[in-house]
Amino acid sequence: MARILYLTQVLPYPLSTGAKVRQYYVLRYLSQHHAVTLVSFVRPDDRAKDVEHLRTFCAAVHTVPMTRSRWRDIRAGLKAVATGQPIVIVRDEIEAMQQLLARLTASERFEAVHADQVAMAQYALGVDSPGLKRVLDLHNAMYLVTHRLADNEPNPLNRALMQRETQALAKYEAQLCARFDRVVFVTDDDRAAIVAQINRHHIKVNAQQFSTIPICSDPIEKAAIPPVAKPFRVTALGVMFWPPNAEGVAWFARDAWPQVRARHPEARLTIVGKNPPPTLTDLNGVDGIEVPGFVPDVQSILAETAVFIVPLRAGGGMRVKILDTWCWGLPIVSTRIGAEGIAVRDGENILLADTADELAQAVNRVLGDATLADQLRRNGRQWIEAKYDWRMVYRAWDEIYG
């Protein structure tokens, strides 16, 4: 049994984002075999009862308030330009986190430090202890996210800033891989993308230190949702302050939804997620579009959902919303980027489409074909049970910490 210091940028509970789903089930698995001390940033809306839940299986839980402000963003931008670092990394340099880790490591010896996502890598590198193993869990190749966002950004200034951040992240992520004893990717696609940057920047690494362990869900705890007699919603669900989510849904609403609405005037496009930007809130009430923002309990919306859409044009890693939707037993229509990194069977447990016209046609197929909808519901649920149950798949972590 190892003593592991596990570092996260967001509190891993409740399971409201893909990042939290990854963190939570890895924590659950590792805590069955090791003494895991969780250290996490928290936001004002994180609840004490959620911290207490994590303490039911972690050896200890410590939190640090995440400090964000307009002034910190400006300072981070200036420092990043001066040093060549990514803005998103400099922005999260929080002295209180450094101080907490210094106190913990002065009073307790850890055999390993686990950095969850690239944002926490700088803190793991600051932990020093004899024989310490450093493990980095890369949920996605961040540089790919900003690269794809830049490709779809119409504003020249914003596009230039994204391109600059892409270059800085690509180099930063490649260099990190040489400083950790083990690096875990969630998809082979991201692994190949990072290796390409390692080769491009002539960085020496041991390829044997790399592993791929996918994000998993819990089909036992997350039951299928019985549909209402006549489902009518086309639903998009996710944190809408995450730019790839907002951009993709706005694109679908603008270029694909009118074709769906013309064929199925009874359908409603429902966009659910925390902090949607004006590009989405301005659509509320227009042409059958509903934008309720964050909804604490989405069960009724999901029961009324005829098609769940993942219209992403940017992103990296895995979209946990697809795993969750398979658990719920809902038909899914996604772009190939949206389903990237996930083992799917197009036409059996998902429909894949990349252009706005293709997305509209796929959604219309499901809305108009009850047999197809039932097939997608049934096959998706069976697929998640067979391929992405954390209790089985996460045995791969034994090799990382063995």
Residue 7 has pLDDT above 80, yes or no: yes
Q: Which domain holds residue 266?
A: 233-387
Mean pLDDT within 333-346: 95
Mean pLDDT within 247-264: 97
Question: Is 360 within the bounds of a domain?
Answer: yes
CATH number, position 370 = 3.40.50.2000
Residue 382 has pLDDT above 80, yes or no: yes
Question: Is 318 within the bounds of a domain?
Answer: yes
Q: Does 163 share its domain with 92?
A: yes
| Secondary structure string (H, E, C) spanning the chain | CCEEEEEECCCCCCCCCHHHHHHHHHHHHHHCCCEEEEEEEECCCCCHHHHHHHHCCCCEEEEEECCCCHHHHHHHHHHHHHHCCCHHHHHCCCHHHHHHHHHHHHHCCCCEEEEECHHHHHHHHHCCCCCCEEEEEECCCHHHHHHHHHHCCCCHHHHHHHHHHHHHHHHHHHHHHCCCCEEEECCHHHHHHHHHHHHHCCCCCCHHHEEECCCCECCCCCCCCCCCCCCCEEEEECCCCCHHHHHHHHHHHHHCHHHHHHHCCCCEEEEECCCCCHHHHCCCCCCCEEEEECCCCCHHHHHCEEEEEECCCCCCCCCHHHHHHHHHCCCEEECCCCCCCCCCCECCCEEECCCHHHHHHHHHHHHHCHHHHHHHHHHHHHHHHHHCEHHHHHHHHHHHHC
Distance CA 257, CA 226 (A): 25
Residue 267 has pLDDT above 80, yes or no: yes
Distance CA 81, CA 164 (A): 9
CA distances from 191 to 152, 209, 354 (A): 24, 12, 23
- How many Cα atoms within 13 Å fall on the side-chain side of residue 339? 19
The predicted pLDDT at position 71 comes to 83
Distance CA 379, CA 126 (A): 46
Q: What is the mean pLDDT of the chain?
A: 94
Mean pLDDT within 276-295: 96
Q: Which residues pair with 39 in a beta bridge?
A: 7, 62
The predicted pLDDT at position 389 comes to 96
- Phi, psi at 216, each rounded to 5°: -130, 165
Residue 109 has pLDDT above 90, yes or no: yes
Distance CA 200, CA 377 (A): 43
Question: Is 42 within the bounds of a domain?
Answer: yes
Question: Is 227 within the bounds of a domain?
Answer: no
Confidence of residue 80 (pLDDT cuts 50, 70, 90): confident
Least confident of 131-135, 146-150, 290-294, 302-306: 146-150
The predicted pLDDT at position 149 comes to 87
Question: Is 190 within the bounds of a domain?
Answer: yes
Q: Does 162 share its domain with 76?
A: yes
Give percent above pLDDT 70 in the chain.
100
Question: Is 366 within the bounds of a domain?
Answer: yes
Q: Does 167 share its domain with 261?
A: no
Residue 353 has pLDDT above 80, yes or no: yes
The predicted pLDDT at position 57 comes to 97
Q: Does 207 share its domain with 244?
A: no
Q: Does 142 share its domain with 18?
A: yes
Mean pLDDT within 338-342: 92
Confidence of residue 208 (pLDDT cuts 50, 70, 90): confident
Q: Does 379 share its domain with 394?
A: no
Nearest to residue 339, comparing CAs of 327, 329, 328, 353?
A: 353
Q: Does 238 share its domain with 376?
A: yes
Q: Does 193 share its domain with 162?
A: yes
Mean pLDDT within 209-228: 95
Q: Give the end-to-end CA distance of the chain in Å, rounded to a whole number.
A: 9
Domain count, the chain: 2
Q: What is the pLDDT of residues 14-33, one digit of tens each?
A: 998 889 999 999 999 999 99
The predicted pLDDT at position 215 comes to 95
The predicted pLDDT at position 316 comes to 74
Q: What is the pLDDT of residues 171-195, one digit of tens each?
A: 999 999 999 999 999 999 999 999 9
Q: Does 306 share its domain with 163?
A: no
Distance CA 362, CA 352 (A): 8
Question: Is 188 within the bounds of a domain?
Answer: yes
CA distances from 291 to 87, 212, 225, 352 (A): 30, 36, 22, 24
Q: Does 209 share its domain with 348?
A: no
Q: What is the pLDDT of residues 128-169, one digit of tens each?
A: 888 899 999 999 899 998 998 898 888 999 999 999 999 999
Q: Does 154 share its domain with 191?
A: yes
Q: Does 336 share its domain with 383?
A: yes
Question: Is 223 within the bounds of a domain?
Answer: no
Mean pLDDT within 312-324: 88
